[in-house]
Amino acid sequence: MLPHRAPRKKGRVEIIPMIDVMLFLLVFFIMITLQMITDKGLKLNLPTSSQAKMLPHPHYLVNILTDGSVVVKGKPMDLAALQQMLAGDGDVSKTDVTIAAAQKVPFQDFVHVMDSCQKAGVTNIGIATKASA
């Protein structure tokens, strides 16, 4: 008498765990891509310094438009509001600010923004330029 064999089960590909893995990969890809977006800058012949460092991704990117208005995170604000926002950020000594000015912004407007940042207690200030269209 021949032994009775149980019918062989076909292998199945579970689709739900694959979807979960793909969503996790997509989320990680988006998060890493957002951190890799850098601000464009100008290549300048600057003096050398033993303390020179690469600028980190700033907590705040302060844009100065041609008319002298200041925009932070898409919101226009005056210099007093900028100073108040930066001062209320918690530990201001660890706050990184990058100032990006339009090409034809008067230097005096740039100095006013830098002065507001320093009055708020920010010491980590970087300078960038806006990418031209």
CATH number of the domain where residue 113 is located: 3.30.420.270
Domain that holds residue 88: 60-129
pTM of the model: 0.54
On whether residue 30 sits in a domain, the answer given is: no
On whether residue 20 sits in a domain, the answer given is: no
The residues with which 126 forms a beta bridge, in sequence order, are: 98
On whether residue 17 sits in a domain, the answer given is: no
On whether residue 117 sits in a domain, the answer given is: yes
What is the arrangement of strands in the sheet containing 70-72, beginning at the earlier edge strand? 75-77, 70-72, 60-64, 96-101, 124-129
Checking if the pLDDT of 86 tops 80, the result is yes
Q: Mapping DSSP to helix (H, G, I), strand (E, B) and coil, where does residue 75 land?
A: strand
Domain count of the fold of the chain: 1
Q: Mapping DSSP to helix (H, G, I), strand (E, B) and coil, where does residue 125 land?
A: strand
100-117: pLDDT as tens digits: 777 777 888 888 998 998
On whether residue 95 sits in a domain, the answer given is: yes
11-20: pLDDT as tens digits: 787 888 889 9
